[in-house]
Structure 1
Amino acid sequence: MTTSPANTRSGARFFVLIPCAGQGSRAGTARAKQYHLIDGRPMVRHTVEAFRALAGSFAAVWVVISPSDEDFLDVFPDFNQRNEVLLVGGGATRAATVLNGLKAMLEQQPGADLDDWVLVHDAARCLVTPEQIKALINECRNDAVGGLLAQKLPDTLKTERDGRVASTVDRSDKWLAQTPQMFRIGPLIDALQLAGDAVTDESSAMEAAGLSPRLVNGSAQNFKVTYPEDFALAEAIFERRRK
Structure 2
Amino acid sequence: MTSNPSSCWAIVPAAGIGSRMQQNKPKQYLEINGQSILSHTLTRLLQFPFQKIIVAVAADDQWFDQLPVSKNVRVIKIEGGAERYQSVANGLNWLANCATAKDWVMVHDAARPCIRQEEIQKLYQALVDHPVGGLLGVPVKDTIKAVNTKKEVKQTVSRENLWQAQTPQMFRFGLLKQALTEALTKTQLVTDEASAIELLGYLPQMVEGRDDNLKITRPVDLPLAAFCLEHQTGDV
Q: Which TM-score band applies after superposition, normalised by the shorter structure?
A: over 0.9
Could you tell me how far apart the structure 1 residues matched to 2:230 and 2:69 are? 24
Question: For residue 82 of structure 2, what is the aligned residue in structure 1?
Answer: 92
Question: For residue 195 of structure 2, what is the aligned residue in structure 1?
Answer: 204
Unaligned residue ranges in structure 1 (runs of 5+)? 8-12
Cα drift, residue 60 of structure 1:
1.1
Could you tell me how far apart the structure 2 residues matched to 1:194 and 1:188 are? 10
Question: For residue 118 of structure 2, what is the aligned residue in structure 1?
Answer: 131
Residues 151, 220 of structure 1: 8 Å contact kept:
yes
Could you tell me how far apart the structure 2 residues matched to 1:211 and 1:43 are? 33
Unaligned residue ranges in structure 2 (runs of 5+)? none
Residues 148, 203 of structure 1: 8 Å contact kept:
yes
Question: For residue 10 of structure 1, what is the aligned residue in structure 2?
Answer: none
- Write out per-residue CA displacement over residues 170-208 of structure 1, whole angstroms, 9 at most, x where no aligned residue: 101100000000001111111112223510100000000
Residues 101, 173 of structure 2: 8 Å contact kept:
yes
Q: Which runs of 4+ in 1 moved over 3 A?
A: 2-5
Kindly report the root-mean-square deviation, in angstroms, between the aligned alpha carbons of the 2 structures.
1.6
Query: Aligned in 2, Cα 1:94/1:133: closer, same or farther, shift over 3 Å?
Result: same
Could you tell me how far apart the structure 2 residues matched to 1:64 and 1:41 are? 19
Question: For residue 6 of structure 1, what is the aligned residue in structure 2?
Answer: 5
Matched position secondary structure for 2:53 = strand
Give the number of equivalent residue pairs.
230
Q: TM-score of the superposition, structure 1-length normalised?
A: 0.90
Residues 95, 199 of structure 1: 8 Å contact kept:
yes
Question: For residue 64 of structure 1, what is the aligned residue in structure 2?
Answer: 56
**Match 1:176 to one of 148, 151, 164:** 164
Residues 64, 70 of structure 2: 8 Å contact kept:
no
Cα drift, residue 84 of structure 1:
2.0
Could you tell me how far apart the structure 1 residues matched to 2:233 and 2:170 are? 29
1:152 aligns with 2:139: yes
- Write out per-residue CA displacement over residues 49-87 of structure 1, whole angstroms, 9 at most, x where no aligned residue: 111112xx221111111111011011x134242422111
- Letter matched to residue 34 of structure 1: Q
Query: Aligned in 2, Cα 1:236/1:84: closer, same or farther, shift over 3 Å?
Result: same
Instruction: Give the percent of matched residue pairs that are identical in Structure 1 and Structure 2.
Output: 37
Question: For residue 225 of structure 1, what is the aligned residue in structure 2?
Answer: 216
Q: TM-score of the superposition, structure 2-length normalised?
A: 0.93
Residues 5, 138 of structure 1: 8 Å contact kept:
no
**Match 1:165 to one of 125, 132, 153:** 153
Question: For residue 37 of structure 1, what is the aligned residue in structure 2?
Answer: 31
Residues 80, 86 of structure 1: 8 Å contact kept:
no
Residues 148, 178 of structure 1: 8 Å contact kept:
yes
**Match 2:177 to one of 179, 189, 195:** 189
